Amino acid sequence: MDKKILLPDLADMLADKAGITKKSAESFVRAFFATIEDNLLSDRYVKVKDFGTFKVVTVGERESVNVATGERIQISSHAKVSFTAEGTLRDLVNQPFAHFSNIDLEEGVTLPADEEQPEPEPAEEPETVTEQTEQTCEPEPIAEPEPTVEPEPIAEPEPAIEPEPAAEPTKAPVVEPTAEPAVEPAPMETQAPSITPEPAATPATPTIVIQHEEAPINWWKVVCLGLIVLLLMTASYFVGYYHMLCPCTEHSQLPAVIKVEKPIPAVKPAAKPEAKSADAPVAKPAEKPVEKPAEKPIEKPAEKPAINPANYAQLPGGAYEIIGTKEVHELQTGETLRTLALKHYGNARMSDYIVVHNQIANPDVIALGAKIKIPELRKKAE
Partner 1 sequence: MNNKEFLGALSTQLNISNKEAERLVETLTDCLATSVDEETSVSIQGFGNFEVKKKLERVAVNPSTKKRYLVPPKLVLNFKPSPLLKDKAQ
Minimum gap (Å) between residue 8 Cβ and partner 1: 10
Listed in sequence order, the residues at least 6 apart from 104 whose beta carbon sits closer than 8 Å to its beta carbon are none
CA distances from 366 to 329, 353, 373 (A): 13, 15, 13
Q: Look at residues 259, 265, 227, 261 and name the one whose alpha carbon lies nearest to residue 243.
A: 259
Left if phi > 0, otherwise alpha if psi is -120 to 50, otherwise beta: which for 359?
left
Does residue 293 contact residue 149 with C-beta atoms inside 8 Å?
Answer: no
Minimum gap (Å) between residue 37 Cβ and partner 1: 6
Minimum gap (Å) between residue 21 Cβ and partner 1: 12
Minimum gap (Å) between residue 347 Cβ and partner 1: 42
Angstrom distance (rounded) from CA 32 to CA 69: 44
Residues near partner 1 (CB under 8 A) are 1-7, 9-10, 13-14, 17-18, 20, 27-29, 31-37, 39-41, 43, 45-52, 54, 56, 78-83, 85, 88-90, 92-97, 100-105, 109, 111-112
Report which DSSP code applies to 78: E
Minimum gap (Å) between residue 65 Cβ and partner 1: 23
Listed in sequence order, the residues at least 6 apart from 305 whose beta carbon sits closer than 8 Å to its beta carbon are none
Hey, which residues does 372 pair with through a beta bridge? Answer: 329
Q: Which residue, 10 or 166, is less far from partner 1 as judged by CB?
A: 10
Q: Which residue, 100 or 184, is less far from partner 1 as judged by CB?
A: 100
Q: Which residue, 48 or 280, is less far from partner 1 as judged by CB?
A: 48
Q: Which residue, 3 or 72, is less far from partner 1 as judged by CB?
A: 3
Minimum gap (Å) between residue 208 Cβ and partner 1: 56
3-class SS at 343? helix
Angstrom distance (rounded) from CA 156 to CA 148: 13
Q: Which residue, 100 or 382, is less far from partner 1 as judged by CB?
A: 100
Buried b / exposed e along 15-42 (16+ C-beta atoms within 10 A) = beeeeeeeeebbeebeeeeeebeeebee
Minimum gap (Å) between residue 95 Cβ and partner 1: 8
Q: Which residue, 39 or 249, is less far from partner 1 as judged by CB?
A: 39
Angstrom distance (rounded) from CA 143 to CA 225: 20
Q: Which residue, 100 or 121, is less far from partner 1 as judged by CB?
A: 100
Report which DSSP code applies to 382: -
